């Protein structure tokens, strides 16, 4: 299974924001959409940053409730690791493990075309493992 297959089954809806929104706006979006991260896009639809619930917790821990009035641009991660359509589940697992994050925007020709979360990766890894076990059972039973 690769990123193209994951996007086909989960759909390619992406929740985005602009860097000029406030943390209060993004906290509302995270809660309403029941997601853990939002991709911040630039005027041309490219990835300008990513803002996750961890960034929100960090900002509030540092400055208290007043952080909610700050702009996303001050708290988002600007150096975003992305993935491509043909990346495999193993590629995604290694990018997330090495980067210690749980979200990977999918980019093609400089444009955002989807987002993969750690939940999507775990779900496909479990499916792959179940298929491997079934194949192994069949192999043993036929021997």
Interacting residue with ligand AMP among 7, 37, 48, 59 (CB under 6 A)? 37
Please, which of residues 72-91 interact with ligand AMP by CB under 6 A? Answer: 77, 80-81
Interacting residue with ligand AMP among 38, 101, 106, 121 (CB under 6 A)? 101
Closer by beta carbon to ligand AMP, 103 or else 124: 103
Taking phi over 0 as left and psi of -120 to 50 as alpha, with beta for the rest, 61 belongs to alpha
Closer by beta carbon to ligand AMP, 7 or else 50: 50
Contacts of 68 by beta carbon, 8 Å cutoff, 6+ apart: 22, 23, 24, 27, 60
29 binds ligand AMP per the rule CB under 6 A: no
55 binds ligand AMP per the rule CB under 6 A: yes
Please, which of residues 4-23 interact with ligand AMP by CB under 6 A? Answer: none
Closer by beta carbon to ligand AMP, 1 or else 40: 40
41 in Cβ contact with 47 (< 8 Å): yes
Q: Which residues would be at the binding site for ligand AMP (CB under 6 A)? A: 36-37, 50-55, 77, 80-81, 99, 101-104
């Amino acid at each position: 299974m690769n990123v193209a297959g994951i996007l086909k089954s989960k759909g390619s809806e992406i929740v985005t924001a602009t860097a000029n929104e406030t943390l209060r706006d993004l906290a509302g979006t995270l809660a309403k959409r029941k997601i853990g991260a939002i991709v911040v896009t630039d005027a041309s639809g490219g990835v300008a940053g990513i803002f996750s619930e961890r960034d929100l917790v960090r900002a509030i821990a540092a400055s208290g409730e007043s952080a909610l009035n700050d702009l996303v641009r001050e708290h988002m991660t600007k150096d975003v690791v992305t993935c491509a359509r043909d990346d495999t589940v193993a590629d995604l697992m290694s990018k997330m493990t090495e980067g210690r994050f749980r979200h990977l925007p999918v980019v093609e020709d400089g444009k955002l075309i989807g987002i993969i979360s750690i939940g999507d990766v775990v779900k496909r890894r479990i499916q792959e493992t179940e298929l491997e076990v079934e194949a192994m059972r069949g192999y043993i039973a036929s021997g």
